């Protein structure tokens, strides 16, 4: 296969092409869910999606690129209702409560699908240059979800978002590579979220 066939197409996709791309992402997700990182091969993804192998490479530069897109879909599914900040605020929830609830929710969903979580963490942390753009988009999306959960303006917001992103990544690594108990990791992200937010607010007050 030529190098050109392995470059992800940057142009806008037709409805049919978007549907095919989504089918490839879903096929990769199911393979990762069933067998982890090692179970996802471009050949098996193509077979499961009922397309030719060359077709997979028209949309995704590598396996890690494909799994990073799986991670993006996974992140959107977990946080699809986080925009309901106004509803949460009406019930008396504070920014810290909304933030820590979101962090814990991500951890607990990740623990329920540990094989899939392990696969996407391995892909997202890959040194494959083909992952860079998708990883950047994913990290920005997660940061935006965290910011939305906080809701209220906070000092040094960008630094807070970055710190919380590292907390979340560390939590997922703790679940997958270190096999720490989910309750322990959930407690860690809740405490970390509170401390990061409190530290930013305290720093602004001094």
Over the stretch 1-52, which tens digit does the pLDDT of each residue have?
Answer: 333 333 344 458 899 999 999 999 999 999 999 999 999 999 999 999 999 9
Q: What is the pLDDT of residue 82?
A: 62
CA distance linking residue 130 with residue 65, whole number of Å: 6
Per-chain mean pLDDT for the chain: 88
Q: What is the pLDDT of residue 87?
A: 46
Whether the CB-CB separation of 154 and 203 falls below 8 Å is answered with no
Average pLDDT over residues 73-90: 67
Longest CA–CA separation in the chain, Å: 61
Enter the pTM of the model.
0.85
In the chain, pLDDT over 90 holds for what percent of residues? 70
Q: What is the pLDDT of residue 5?
A: 35
Of the two residues 87 and 111, the one the predictor is more confident about is 111
Q: Give burial (CB, 10 Å; 0-12/13-18/19+) of 40.
A: buried
């Amino acid at each position: 296969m030529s190098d050109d066939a392995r470059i992800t197409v940057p142009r806008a996709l037709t409805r049919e092409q978007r549907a095919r791309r989504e089918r490839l992402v879903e096929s990769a997700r199911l393979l990762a869910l069933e067998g982890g990182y090692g179970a996802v091969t471009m050949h098996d993804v193509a077979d499961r999606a009922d397309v030719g192998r060359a077709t997979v490479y028209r949309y995704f530069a590598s396996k890690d690129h494909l799994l990073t897109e799986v991670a993006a879909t996974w992140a959107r599914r977990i946080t699809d209702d986080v925009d309901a900040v106004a509803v949460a605020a009406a019930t008396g929830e504070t920014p810290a409560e909304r933030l820590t609830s979101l962090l814990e929710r991500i951890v607990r969903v990740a623990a329920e699908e540990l094989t899939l979580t392990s696969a996407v963490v391995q892909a997202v942390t890959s040194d494959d240059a083909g992952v860079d753009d998708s990883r950047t988009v994913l990290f920005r999306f997660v940061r935006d979800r965290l910011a939305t959960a906080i809701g209220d303006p906070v000092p040094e917001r960008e630094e807070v978002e970055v710190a919380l992103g590292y907390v979340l990544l560390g939590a997922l690594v703790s679940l997958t590579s270190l096999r720490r108990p989910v309750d322990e990791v959930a407690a860690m992200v809740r405490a970390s979220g509170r401390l990061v937010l409190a530290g930013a607010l305290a720093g602004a007050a001094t």
